[in-house]
Structure 1
């Protein structure tokens, strides 16, 4: 099979690799579409993310849709030909985190495109059968690939404790901010405020669930006037986090999603005096049924998030393109 392989920082090569064989309980998936994540770009440019270091050739890509092409022992043959979206996690299932329902925090986790585990910029991948989720015929391959980042937005929204009638502030009108907005709407939030300094992004985000937008750099911007029940930080910018904490009502919840600085100053007394909950997320748990259902809603158009496509042979170009103000998600098209 073809595979786009990151040899080292800044060096990608197309290679021929053996088609993987599904183990018992696994499926072999013919990849159709793979979303390009910021983590893929970071590995390409920097060769590492925190403690995860590219020390040997690595196939990038973890936002995947495709078609089941084969099955391992114990998996019904009827699954062959089924269109699926893949949850790219492989937890150990036996550690305390897994057995208590926190499999996303499994210390033995194997995750696509996280060193040393290969990802999906290739013709075929294998996955646990229960993590290859059937998608409806009405859903495009691109939309199926975007269920993975949609899961991030859905997990963040769930941790924010949104309920029908809630007000939520989301900082960052990029892809994750857009998907968090859609997730917030699925949870019943009625006021979804998105903050972003770029006017074109503020305008675009209104197509993805936001009910209003604010410019955090405007001279008259006062976050305290928002009175949000929850705040979801998707930009990774320290000023955005600090403003969002001020936007919360007492007893509100702030969820950090964007990857920012390793250390940030926070207003401890404000958090304590208002009993604000400040937490973060790391991937997700059991989100695929939710995002598949949410994506079938008539007011959710995941395809509208796609602003660029590249064939597998041009995966490096997908990683190195200069995003414009209106850029959202890039897809590597592996097959159709």
Structure 2
């Protein structure tokens, strides 16, 4: 398959600006393949880089090609023979674990590697370019072949669904347990889908009607308006999974979960201190568990998407050509009007 020297890409040159531009396609290393990107999902971190110039503690310091929720087709296989063959449709695991030789972390949790990189991330300098482009050069180890019958469009949910899957796993066995999902945006909605598949009794909370309707469509047993604080506290779930990435969302998760319960923090809150009712967590002996990205759960997610046991296609609300990236990002930034927005390359 012919591969161009320059490709169309979606880039943030600086905070507040988004452009569709031409960038040079780097020469692949021996263990890197060239992937023709089919779809890319707009993530909250992409929106934050565009609007605020940061995602959590990752600060934008140079122009950055965005995008880590990508799927596509191998256009040129790695020269060393590793990875899928040319023509294989693939999902992408966008993480590269990097050890600093000093910081301790569990060997079986590479997502916690202190110098790890992620496609489309400003965590380090130089930044790690993303894959919102017609073609991307990617390490062959990132590529996961898709089963026959799983469309690229649905497979575009693989990365965010893996984040949700990891968050649910951090809660432990949820079968038969009551679980509150705080925030029914794309990650929250996917969390609902993963929980329903796992046999949990799910309640979803959000500020907007559309996400609550989506949560119901994905199998949530109950939905609650987040503005009704009494109704949220009355749920008293065994587990609360916070996906909104907001201090009020985390506070409601802590205050609603039953005594001795578990709170999983999936949403990325802003850097710095947060007003969280920690005293409540202390006197109720709550467990607060962080959840950061994912590891090999991506393989289970691909299988579940392919066999239909993880039925989350309604999460995709909009699809735009990459040339219309600005409109796509504006749409994705309105939680009352959209869920997962896809760019088509």
TM-score normalised by length of structure 1: 0.90
Distance 2:84 2:249 in 1: 49
Query: Is 1:174 aligned with 2:174?
Result: no
Q: Contact 1:20/1:124 (CA < 8 Å) preserved in 2? A: no
Instruction: Quote the RMSD (CA, aligned, Å).
Output: 2.3
- How many residue pairs get matched? 332
Cα distance change on mapping 1:120 and 1:97 into 2, 3 Å: farther
Extract unaligned runs of 5+ from structure 2. Answer: 1-6
The reply on whether 1:56 has 2:62 as its aligned counterpart is: yes
Q: Residue 2 in 1 paired to residue 8 in 2?
A: yes
Residue pair 1:75, 1:129 contacting (<8 A) in 2 also: no
2:277 aligned with 1:267? yes
Counterpart pick for 1:185 among 196, 204, 224: 196
Q: How does 1:195-234 map to 2 (within 5 A)?
A: 195-218=205-228, 220-221=230-231, 223=233, 225-234=234-243
SS in 1 for 2:164: helix
Is the aligned partner of 1:109 residue 2:116? yes
Pairwise CA distance, 1:87: 0.8
Aligned twin of 1:73: 79
2 CA distance for matches of 1:122 and 1:257? Answer: 28
2-structure distance, mates of 1:248, 1:77: 44
Tell me, which stretches of 5 or more residues in structure 1 are unaligned?
Answer: none
d(CA) in 2 for partners of 1:156, 1:311: 31
Moved more, 158-167 or 237-246: 237-246
* Counterpart position of 2:4: none
Closer/same/farther in 2, CA of residues 93 and 239 from structure 1, 3 Å limit: closer
Q: What TM-score do you get using the length of structure 2 for normalisation?
A: 0.88
1:249 to 251, 255, 258: 258
Do the aligned residues in 1 keep the contact of 2:56 with 2:269 (CA within 8 Å)? no
Provide closer, same or farther for how the CA distance between residues 97 and 140 of structure 1 changes in structure 2, counting only shifts above 3 A: farther
Which residue of 2 is the match for residue 287 of structure 1? Answer: 297
Q: 1:283 to 1:26 in 2, by over 3 A?
A: same
Structure 1 residues 65, 226: closer, same or farther in 2, change over 3 A?
same
Retained in 2: the 8 A contact 1:71–1:77? yes
1:25 and 1:98 map into 2 onto residues whose CA distance is 27
Residues in 2 aligned to 1:256 and 1:182: alpha-carbon distance in whole angstroms: 17
